[in-house]
Amino acid sequence: MYLTFRWFGDSDPVKLWQIKQIPGMKGIVSAVYDVPVGEEWPYETIVALKEKVEAAGLELSVIESVPVHEHIKLGLPSRDRYIENYGKTIRNLARAGIDIVCYNFMPVFDWTRSKLDYELEDGSTALIYEEEVVQRMNPLTGELQLPGWDSSYRKEDLQLLFDQYAQVDEEKLWDNLAYFIRAIMPIAEEVGVKMAIHPDDPPWPIFGLPRIITDEKALARFLALYDSPSNGLCVCTGSLGAKPTNDMAAIVRRFGREGRINFMHCRNIRFSGERSFEESAHLSSAGSIDMAEVVRALRDVDYDGPVRPDHGRMIWGETGKPGYGLYDRALGAVYLNGMWEALTKERERR
């Protein structure tokens, strides 16, 4: 296991030199943010990002993410052009020496929350998901501005997408995912890139749109689409863990032993109701996920890939991008690293 940290480029209030000072921190998780979805990422742009990270004494460990165009998810005839561009981007990333790519297959909306700044008992603020609030939301009004929502969509664009997705149920979405995977994975294998699909967040349908990467059974079905180390998982404890029936340590042990976990997101949440949760500090005692057991499972399967403290509260008066403050994620990184060191030394003494 080695620690990584999400960085959103020059516009990020968190600076690379600050990340470098977190004990045990090695890598950066970032992306190219100014290329339209579906277009090829230029090699020179990737190299410029990598050089900027390396100049700060860190490595560009993971690209998160190369977005999948909606036409691919919808299975439209134009998908082949976008898949071709996706393959070119993978080749460019490999040429630049980057070998892990995280992505998701969530229709229209990425991770979704109902409130950005819910105040917790200690006075910090966190992202929360309230099912009853989300159920009342109308994504077609154009008035919602929440994390995970692509604000570039116009109202008429969203209406068209919803009309198109009316013809796509879960099985059709599986078919479209399989088409994408079977086209992309041979390229990833050829150039030595490990792909890591991020689970749906939350792991259930929202606004009538299907979501399929939701639990252990779905993860196994996904991996069976293409049996290769290049076709792997990003196991996100906060996303999958939002479904109480998902045993996160068991999931890590199963797919870790199979060598199919290519990236880890460690985030804790606290259940606040049926299909409702608050994001919390990373400690096991702070949330509903036994983070200590998750890290022990990673140690047990000899996981040697990147881990990032995923999301965090806004603490000590910090302002900026909700969920992506420096302080709480830094605390989470040190917490994770401390547990890893203790487990490693425990093993060495046996």
For residue 242, give every residue at least 6 positions away whose Cβ sits within 8 Å of its Cβ, in sequence order, or none.
Answer: 129, 201, 202, 203, 269, 275, 277
| Given 69, 71, 198, 282, the catalytic residue | 198
- Known catalytic residue at 102: no
| Given 103, 310, 328, 335, the catalytic residue | 310
User: Is 74 within 8 Å of 172 (Cβ atoms)?
Assistant: no
Q: What is the DSSP letter of 318?
A: -
Name the phi and psi angles at 264, rounded to 5.
Answer: -125, 135
- Known catalytic residue at 198: yes
- Known catalytic residue at 311: yes
Q: Cα separation of 113 and 156, whole Å? A: 23
For residue 270, give every residue at least 6 positions away whose Cβ sits within 8 Å of its Cβ, in sequence order, or none.
Answer: 277, 278, 280, 286, 287, 288
- Known catalytic residue at 71: no
| Given 82, 311, 328, 335, the catalytic residue | 311
| Given 153, 265, 303, 328, the catalytic residue | 265
| Given 82, 236, 290, 303, the catalytic residue | 236
> Hey, which bits of 123-275 come out as E strands?
125-129, 194-197, 231-236, 261-266, 269-273
| Given 86, 118, 226, 324, the catalytic residue | 324
Q: Cα separation of 187 and 193, whole Å? A: 8
For residue 331, give every residue at least 6 positions away whose Cβ sits within 8 Å of its Cβ, in sequence order, or none.
Answer: 281, 282, 312
Query: Which residues are designated catalytic?
Result: 198, 236, 265, 310-311, 324
